Structures are given as structure tokens and as C-alpha cells.
């Protein structure tokens, strides 16, 4: 693809500004591990939440959504729309608890919740597992997506161009830590949204407008319901049974980046970094609303236009990039390429910093050099970041064998199935111990390998992937429940210390609370958490479906969805006023 001088000017300006912002924060990150990995616990909610949104807006995401829509229509997005409830659990049940923990990684919580050698083993095992295989898989598929994009958009060797972008990202992340990540995330999110909205406008215009897009998409899929139905059809790729598995099981059972049961991952990292409990809650709420209700529609409109304009593509995801190459004028084309670079760099910057946090905080400082001075901690952090950057390039070839980014999504979801219940219940049931988590991790991995290597299920297939998740969840649950009941509980003094510090509430801590003569805490650390979750579900799904109906029709349904969403948001805002939230700044004690 040939680029005009204006395109190169836009791209160059974006890279220069990103690098400037990242390097500008080098001194702040160099003060120690707390500043490097949790930004001094000083982030406002809007910056922490926007960073979460930007991180999940990866280069692979629009391509994967395009593939889902091209193959299964609008309802294909239920592969990830079903995770809304899991995200909202984090907002209202776990965000406060994570912030109270005062840790730097979600692996560190294990030695607050559990005791002795098993807790130390679990912390090291989980940190190594997330920092290396899981983190490298994520970075590998993001690299793969960027290689695909660069192969179509630039007359340069795509792998070499991707490595250049990876090195730029690694440079400012290694020097500036989480401060550089979140500040550049804000810029990258704005650039990414502008680029995707511009592409959607030109793609819809090339088809003939929104109404023509809806009509022609219906022709391609055979009916309007197949193309634009909000729910999967009974005879489609996701029959009722499979749909119910996704809707009722996946969101709590499967560990997935950005939608971890019980919170965790880089979402928890942003909560640790928030300046208050309230900021942590609002950051997660903003992330959930933007992630599910606002951000997808430019991708979906472009995906439907790709179905109409480029029928029969072997790789539908490539149609998203092809539309950018063929439909955008000079300047706007450069903006879209800058947007691709922005979403790529945003995701990679978080993964590098997040992975380095495990390697340094939970392995190096815990087992190798406890009490290391701040300068040595920062040096080790920068070295770990550089090592992860190089290693991520080495796993990209393996993910090329998967065949699509969507297939990689399904594999990661299935790989983490079954362990989610432990990550939820460890907050609310005193009987969970370190061996519960260890057995869940090992059982989930063993079940996944056994069921896929033997050819019983194909995780890249939608129906078989859902059944694989169900089987893995069932087998893993049997293992960890049995292990929990057959092993000793944590010492009473340790459980009491955890309960006093976190105050998770709920009936599952009854024996500990009674022994300590403590008053009962509201579930999730604040009153009304379940009601808040219900209101937020209406707000997110109402906004998501209302915007869809407003854009693609039938438009008379849009006010119903959007009205319900507006009422739910207004009621939620009223209920979340600071003075109504015990334990939050500005509320009663």
C-alpha cells in the first residue's frame, strides 16, 4: 500500500508523542518497585479505567470481531459478550477488596490469604505461569495480528516492522514503568477510537449507508435474524444449549485476561494503582461500560461492510485491514495505521509491565533477593521487561498454527476453565486453602491437555469449545473440592488477620467472624452490591443493544433499550454516591 506524505506525518506524530510521553515519566518510575508497577497508588479512576479499555483494545481484537461477525452474524459476539457479569462482579464485589489488600500483583494475595510453604509455592507457581506461558501466548497472538496487518498495509517486511514497533514499546515501558503505560494508554485509546470510527464511516458509506448495509447483510446471511439478531438462532453456530453454557458458566468458571473471575491480572493491577477504593470501583465500571457497550460498534459496522464488500474471504479478519487500504483517503489512512499501532502498543506495554511485575515482585524479591534496594529492583524490572519483549517474538510462530485469532481466544478460555470458582470463593469461604488453588490450576491444565490431545474436543470449534469448557470445569471442580476437604484449613490466626484487613463479608466467614466477635460485614465490602450488579447489567446490555438498534434497526426498539440503560445508570449513580458507601472516601464510617 502506498502512503501519502500526510499519512506518514500522522504516523510519525503519533510515534513521537507516544515516545515523548513514555520517556517523560522515566524519573517517576525509577523511584522503586511501587512506582514502577503500581504507579505509586495514585491513579485517578478515569486514567486507570481508560488504561484497562486501551489494553483490551488490541490489534487482534477488531480482526477477531470481524471474523466472528463474518461467520456467525452479529450474535457471534456472544463468545465474549457473555463475560459482562464476570466484569461486573469485579466492579461491585472485588474491586474494594483488591484495593484493601495493598499488594502489587494478584499472585501476592496468596500469602495474605494462605500461610506457610504451600502459600509460597502457590505464589511462585502462579507468578511463573502467568508471566511466562500465559503472558507470552497473549503477546504472541497480538504480534501475529500485527504482522497480518503490516503485511497488507505497508511495503515492508512485516515481521521486521512488527519487531521495530515492539522495540519502541519495550523501550518506553522498560524506562517508565506503569506510569508510562497508563499515560500513553490514554493517548492510544483516543487515537484508536478515532481511527476505527473513521474506518466505519467510510466503510458504511461505500456500501450505501446504514439501511443499505443492514439490507445487504441480511441478503448475505439469508435473513435479517441471521445477520443482525441480538441472540443466536437455534440452528446456528451456537444452539440453545451451547449459548446457555456461555451465558451461565463461562463468565465465572474460565480465567481470561480482562475478565478474570474474582478480578485479577492487569485489571487488578490498575485497582492496586488507584488512589482510593472509590477510584478502583469507578475505574472498573467505566472499563466495563466502554469495553462492551461503546467500543465494539465501529468494529461491527466495518465487519458487516466487509461481509458485503468482500464476500468469500478465506480470512475474514483480513477484510478489516483491506477496507482500510482501499476505502480511506490520505491522512485518514495514516490515522487508521496510527490507530493499529496504538492498540498494538497499548496491549504490549501492559503485558510487558504486568509480566515483569510477577517476575520481579513474586519471584525475584520473594525467593532470590528479599529486601533488595530500590535501584536494584528497578534494574531487575527493566531487565525482566526486555527479556519478555524478546521472548514474545519467539512464540508468534506457534500461534500462526492456530489458524485465526478467534481460535487463540477459544484455546485460552478453555485452558483456564474450571479454576474460576476457586478465585471467587477464596474471598468468601474460609475453608479454601492454598492446596485448593494449586489443585485447580493443575487439574484445569491436565484436563485441557487430556481432552484436546486425545482428540475428544477441538477448542477452536465453537460448539466443541463450549463442551470442552464444561467438561474441564466439571473435572477441575471435582478435584479442587475434594482436595479442599481432604487437606487442613488455614490456621485460625492467619484467617482472622486476612479477614480484619480485607473485610470481605458474607456468610462464608461465619466461624472466623464469630470466633473474633466481629460484626458482620456486607458482602463485597459495601452494602447493596447485588442490587448494583443488577442495575449495571441492565445499563451495559441496554446500552449495547440500544446503540445497535439505533444504528441498524429496527430503530423503534432503540429508545426502549437506551431508556432502560439510562434509568439504570441514573439509579446506580444515585446509589453509589460517596455518602451511601461505608468505607469509601466521603462516606460514613
- For 262-275, the pLDDT digits (tens) are 888 889 999 999 99
Look at the block and give the residue holding cell 508497577: 37
Whether pTM exceeds 0.75: yes
Closest C-alpha among 144, 79, 63 to residue 414: 79
Instruction: Report d(CA 467, CA 459) in Å as an integer.
Output: 9
pLDDT digits (tens, 9 = 90+) for 112-141: 999 999 999 999 998 998 898 888 888 888
Residue 237 pLDDT > 50 = yes
Whether the upstream peptide bond of residue 554 has omega within 30° of 0, thus cis, is yes
For the segment 176-197, the average pLDDT, to the nearest whole number, is 92
For the chain, the 3-state helix, strand and coil shares in percent, each to the nearest 5, are 80, 0, 20
Closest C-alpha among 462, 541, 547 to residue 79: 462
Q: Are the C-beta atoms of 303 and 61 separated by less than 8 Å?
A: no
Residue 63 pLDDT > 90 = no
Instruction: Report d(CA 203, CA 429) in Å as an integer.
Output: 51
β-bridge mates for residue 347, sequence order: none
Tell me, what's the pLDDT at 234? 67
Count of beta carbons in the 10 Å neighbourhood of residue 245:
21
pLDDT band at 244 (very low <50, low <70, confident <90, very high): confident
Cα separation values, 285 from 74, 293, 438, 519, 525, Å:
24, 12, 30, 29, 16
pLDDT band at 236 (very low <50, low <70, confident <90, very high): low
Instruction: Report d(CA 386, CA 228) in Å as an integer.
Output: 45
β-bridge mates for residue 274, sequence order: 43
Tell me, what's the pLDDT at 581? 43
Tell me, what's the pLDDT at 29? 66
Closest C-alpha among 575, 530, 551 to residue 85: 530
Give 117's contacts (C-beta < 8 A, 6+ positions apart). none
Closest C-alpha among 213, 218, 219 to residue 229: 218
pLDDT digits (tens, 9 = 90+) for 464-512: 777 888 888 899 999 999 999 999 999 999 999 999 999 998 899 999 9
Tell me, what's the pLDDT at 589? 31
pLDDT band at 587 (very low <50, low <70, confident <90, very high): very low
The residue extents of the domains of the chain are 5-490, 526-589
Closest C-alpha among 58, 252, 39, 63 to residue 142: 58
Give 33's contacts (C-beta < 8 A, 6+ positions apart). 104, 360, 361, 365, 374, 377, 378, 381
pLDDT digits (tens, 9 = 90+) for 350-360: 999 999 999 99
Count of beta carbons in the 10 Å neighbourhood of residue 500:
11
Instruction: Report d(CA 397, CA 497) in Å as an integer.
Output: 47
Q: What angle do CA 23, 28, 31 make, to 5 degrees?
A: 125
pLDDT over 70, % of the chain:
92
pLDDT digits (tens, 9 = 90+) for 245-293: 878 887 888 776 677 888 888 899 999 999 999 999 999 999 999 999 9
Cα separation values, 185 from 171, 297, 381, Å:
15, 20, 20
481 against 453, higher pLDDT: 481
Tell me the average pLDDT of the chain.
87
Residue 6 CA, chain-centre distance (Å), reads 34
Tell me, what's the pLDDT at 463? 74
For the segment 12-22, the average pLDDT, to the nearest whole number, is 89
pLDDT band at 36 (very low <50, low <70, confident <90, very high): confident
For the segment 374-389, the average pLDDT, to the nearest whole number, is 91
Residue 320 CA, chain-centre distance (Å), reads 22
Q: Using the CB atoms, write b or e for 133-158: b if 16+ within 10 Å.
A: ebbbbbbbbbbbbbbbbbbebbeeeb
Report the CATH number of the 5-490 domain.
Answer: 1.20.1730.10
> Per mean pLDDT, which of 127-136, 162-171, 309-318, 431-440 is the most reliable?
431-440
Residue 385 pLDDT > 70 = yes
Q: Using the CB atoms, write b or e for 176-189: b if 16+ within 10 Å.
A: bbbbbbbbbbbbbb
Count of beta carbons in the 10 Å neighbourhood of residue 21:
19
Tell me, what's the pLDDT at 484? 96
Instruction: Report d(CA 201, CA 533) in Å as an integer.
Output: 34
Which triple of cell numbers denotes residue 200? 466505519
At 254, is the secondary structure helix, strand, or coil? strand
- Concatenate the DSSP letters of all residues of 7-21 into one string: HHHHHHHHHHHHHHH
Amino acid at each position: 500500500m502506498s502512503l501519502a506524505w500526510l499519512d506518514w506525518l500522522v504516523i510519525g506524530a503519533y510515534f513521537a508523542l507516544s515516545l515523548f510521553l513514555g520517556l517523560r515519566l522515566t524519573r517517576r518510575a525509577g523511584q522503586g518497585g511501587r512506582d514502577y508497577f503500581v504507579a505509586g497508588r495514585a491513579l485517578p479512576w478515569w486514567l486507570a479505567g481508560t488504561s484497562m479499555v486501551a489494553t483490551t483494545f488490541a490489534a487482534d481484537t477488531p480482526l477477531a470481531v470481524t471474523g466472528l461477525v463474518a461467520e456467525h452474524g452479529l450474535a457471534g459476539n456472544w463468545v465474549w459478550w457473555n463475560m459482562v457479569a464476570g466484569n461486573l462482579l469485579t466492579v461491585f464485589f472485588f474491586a474494594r477488596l483488591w484495593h484493601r489488600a495493598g499488594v502489587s500483583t494478584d499472585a501476592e494475595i496468596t500469602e495474605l490469604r494462605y500461610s506457610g510453604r504451600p502459600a509460597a509455592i502457590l505464589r511462585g507457581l502462579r507468578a511463573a505461569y502467568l508471566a511466562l506461558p500465559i503472558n507470552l501466548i497473549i503477546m504472541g497472538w497480538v504480534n501475529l495480528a500485527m504482522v497480518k496487518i503490516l503485511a497488507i498495509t505497508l511495503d515492508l517486511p512485516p515481521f521486521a516492522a512488527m519487531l521495530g514497533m515492539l522495540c519502541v514499546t519495550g523501550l518506553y515501558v522498560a524506562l517508565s514503568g506503569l506510569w508510562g503505560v497508563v499515560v500513553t494508554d490514554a493517548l492510544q485509546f483516543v487515537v484508536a477510537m478515532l481511527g476505527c470510527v473513521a474506518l466505519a464511516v467510510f466503510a458504511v458509506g461505500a456500501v450505501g449507508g446504514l439501511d443499505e448495509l443492514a439490507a445487504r447483510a441480511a441478503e448475505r446471511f439469508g435473513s435479517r435474524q441471521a445477520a443482525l439478531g441480538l441472540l443466536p438462532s437455534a440452528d446456528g453456530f451456537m444452539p440453545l444449549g451451547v449459548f446457555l453454557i456461555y451465558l451461565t458458566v463461562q463468565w465465572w468458571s474460565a480465567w481470561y485476561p480482562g475478565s478474570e473471575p474474582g478480578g485479577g491480572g492487569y485489571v487488578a493491577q490498575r485497582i492496586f494503582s488507584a488512589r482510593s477504593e472509590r477510584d478502583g470501583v469507578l475505574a472498573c465500571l467505566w472499563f466495563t461500560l466502554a469495553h462492551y457497550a461503546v467500543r465494539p460498534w465501529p468494529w461491527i459496522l466495518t465487519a458487516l461492510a466487509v461481509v458485503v464488500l468482500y464476500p468469500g474471504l478465506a480470512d475474514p479478519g483480513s477484510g478489516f485491514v483491506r477496507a482500510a487500504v482501499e476505502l480511506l483517503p490520505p491522512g485518514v489512512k495514516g490515522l487508521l495505521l496510527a490507530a493499529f499501532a496504538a492498540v498494538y502498543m497499548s496491549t504490549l506495554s501492559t503485558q510487558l509491565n504486568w509480566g515483569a511485575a510477577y517476575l520481579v515482585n513474586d519471584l525475584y524479591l520473594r525467593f532470590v533477593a528479599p529486601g533488595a534496594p530500590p535501584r536494584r529492583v528497578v534494574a531487575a524490572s527493566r531487565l525482566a521487561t526486555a527479556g519478555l519483549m524478546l521472548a514474545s517474538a519467539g512464540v508468534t510462530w506457534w500461534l500462526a498454527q492456530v489458524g485465526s485469532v478467534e481460535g487463540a481466544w477459544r484455546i485460552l478460555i478453555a485452558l483456564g476453565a474450571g479454576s474460576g470458582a476457586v478465585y471467587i470463593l477464596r474471598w468468601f469461604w474460609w475453608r479454601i486453602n492454598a492446596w485448593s488453588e494449586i489443585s485447580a490450576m493443575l487439574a484445569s491444565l491436565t484436563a485441557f491437555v487430556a481432552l484436546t490431545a486425545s482428540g475428544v474436543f477441538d477448542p477452536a470449534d465453537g460448539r466443541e469449545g463450549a463442551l470442552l469448557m464444561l467438561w474441564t470445569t466439571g473435572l477441575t471442580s471435582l478435584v479442587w473440592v475434594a482436595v479442599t476437604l481432604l487437606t487442613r484449613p488455614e490456621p485460625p490466626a492467619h484467617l482472622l488477620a486476612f479477614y480484619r484487613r480485607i473485610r470481605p463479608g458474607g456468610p462464608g466467614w461465619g466461624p472466623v467472624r464469630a470466633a473474633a466477635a466481629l460484626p458482620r460485614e456486607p458482602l463485597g465490602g459495601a452494602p447493596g452490591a447485588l442490587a448494583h450488579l443488577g442495575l449495571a447489567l441492565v445499563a451495559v446490555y441496554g446500552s449495547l443493544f440500544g446503540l445497535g438498534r439505533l444504528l441498524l434497526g429496527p430503530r423503534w426498539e432503540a429508545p426502549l433499550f437506551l431508556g432502560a440503560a439510562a434509568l439504570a445508570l441514573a439509579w446506580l449513580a444515585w446509589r453509589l454516591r460517596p455518602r451511601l458507601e461505608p468505607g469509601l472516601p466521603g462516606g460514613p464510617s
